[in-house]
C-alpha cells in the first residue's frame, strides 16, 4: 500500500496538467501539559520585557484547544516551490518564531532586533548540514544560513543567552507548514493524489493519516500532551 501511495504521488507531480489545491485543517491539544517554566533572564534582557514574566514555549495554545508550533508535511512528496526566505528574529532575547520550516538550500535569515549582542549557533545533527557559530552585534546586519540536507527540528541557539532556542525543520520539498496558535495550518498548491500527511510536535510527538487531494483536502489532528 505504501509503494502505491508513493507512486501515485510521483505521478501527480510529474503530470503538469494535474489539478492542485490547498490542504488545510486544525490541530488540537488533548490533555493538560505541565506548566511552562519561567526563564531567568539576565537584567539586560529582562528589562526588554518591562518586568513581565517570560516562560518556555513547549506547548503554544490559543486557550480554546488549538495547538500551535506543529510541523505539518506530506511525507515523500516531491517538488513544490519554496518561499524566498525564512526569517527568524531575535527580539526580547527570544528567537521568533520558535518553530519554523524551510526547504533544503533555502535561505534562513536571522535578524537581531535587540540592543544586545547575540551569537547564532545552528547545531545540525545530519551529515552534510554544517554547524556554524556567528556573533551578531546589537541591531546588526542579518545573517544568512542554508542547509543541504533534510533534517527535523534543526536547533538554533544563542550561547550568550543559554535559554534562547529556535527549531527549523528542513525538507527536500515545498509541501510543509507550521500550525498557528489556534492550531490552523495550510499547505498550498498540492497536486491531486494520495499522500501521507504527518504532524510533528517537538514535545507531543507525531501523528499521521492517509489523505486524498481532489482540488484540496481537509484533515484535522489531535496531539496528546506529554
Asked whether residue 166 falls in the same domain as residue 210, the answer is no
Residue 27 lies in a domain: yes
Residue 177 lies in a domain: no
Residue 114 lies in a domain: yes
Asked whether residue 217 falls in the same domain as residue 149, the answer is no
What's the pLDDT at 18? 57
Asked whether residue 52 falls in the same domain as residue 89, the answer is no
Domain limits for position 93? 81-172
Asked whether residue 165 falls in the same domain as residue 89, the answer is yes
Residue 194 lies in a domain: yes
Q: pTM of the predicted model, to two decimals? A: 0.90
Which CATH number covers residue 39? 2.60.40.1120
Chain position carrying cell 554547524: 131
Beta strands 20-30 and 184-191 are antiparallel
What's the pLDDT at 81? 82
Residue 92 lies in a domain: yes
What's the pLDDT at 83? 76
Q: Specify the number of domains making up the chain.
A: 2
Which CATH number covers residue 160? 2.60.40.420
Asked whether residue 86 falls in the same domain as residue 128, the answer is yes
Average pLDDT, 10 consecutive residues per value, the chain (226 residues)? 36 48 98 96 95 95 96 95 89 98 97 98 98 97 98 98 98 97 97 97 98 97 96
Chain position carrying cell 494520495: 194
Asked whether residue 106 falls in the same domain as residue 144, the answer is yes
Asked whether residue 86 falls in the same domain as residue 73, the answer is no
What's the pLDDT at 136? 98
Q: Which ranges of 61-121 does DSSP label H, i.e. alpha helix?
A: none
Asked whether residue 72 falls in the same domain as residue 3, the answer is yes
Asked whether residue 71 falls in the same domain as residue 109, the answer is no
What's the pLDDT at 6? 36
Residue 115 lies in a domain: yes
Residue 134 lies in a domain: yes
What's the pLDDT at 17? 40
Asked whether residue 186 falls in the same domain as residue 207, the answer is yes
C-alpha cell at 108: 534562513
Residue 89 lies in a domain: yes
Chain position carrying cell 533544503: 104
Asked whether residue 54 falls in the same domain as residue 136, the answer is no
Asked whether residue 214 falls in the same domain as residue 165, the answer is no
**Which residues fall within 8 angstroms of residue 16, CB to CB, at 6 or more apart?**
none
Amino acid at each position: 500500500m505504501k509503494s502505491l501511495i508513493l507512486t501515485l504521488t510521483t505521478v501527480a507531480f510529474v503530470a503538469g496538467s494535474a489539478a492542485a489545491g490547498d490542504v488545510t485543517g486544525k490541530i488540537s491539544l488533548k490533555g493538560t501539559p505541565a506548566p511552562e517554566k519561567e526563564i531567568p533572564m539576565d537584567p539586560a534582557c529582562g528589562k526588554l520585557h518591562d518586568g513581565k514574566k517570560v516562560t518556555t514555549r513547549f506547548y503554544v495554545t490559543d486557550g480554546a484547544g488549538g495547538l500551535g508550533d506543529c510541523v505539518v508535511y506530506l511525507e515523500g512528496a516531491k517538488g513544490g516551490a519554496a518561499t524566498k526566505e525564512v526569517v527568524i528574529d531575535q527580539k526580547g532575547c527570544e528567537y521568533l518564531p520558535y518553530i519554523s520550516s524551510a526547504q533544503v538550500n533555502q535561505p534562513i535569515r536571522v535578524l537581531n532586533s535587540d540592543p544586545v549582542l547575540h551569537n547564532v549557533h545552528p547545531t545540525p545533527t545530519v551529515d552534510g548540514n554544517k554547524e556554524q557559530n556567528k556573533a551578531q552585534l546589537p541591531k546588526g546586519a542579518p545573517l544568512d544560513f542554508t542547509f543541504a540536507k533534510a533534517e527535523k527540528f534543526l536547533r538554533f541557539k544563542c550561547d550568550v543567552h543559554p535559554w534562547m532556542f529556535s527549531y527549523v525543520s528542513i525538507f527536500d520539498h515545498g509541501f510543509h507548514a507550521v500550525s498557528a496558535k489556534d492550531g490552523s495550518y495550510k499547505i498550498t498548491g498540492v497536486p491531486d493524489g494520495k499522500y501521507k500527511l504527518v504532524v510533528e510536535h517537538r514535545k507531543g510527538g507525531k501523528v499521521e493519516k492517509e489523505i486524498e487531494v481532489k482540488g484540496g483536502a481537509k484533515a484535522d489532528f489531535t496531539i496528546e500532551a506529554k
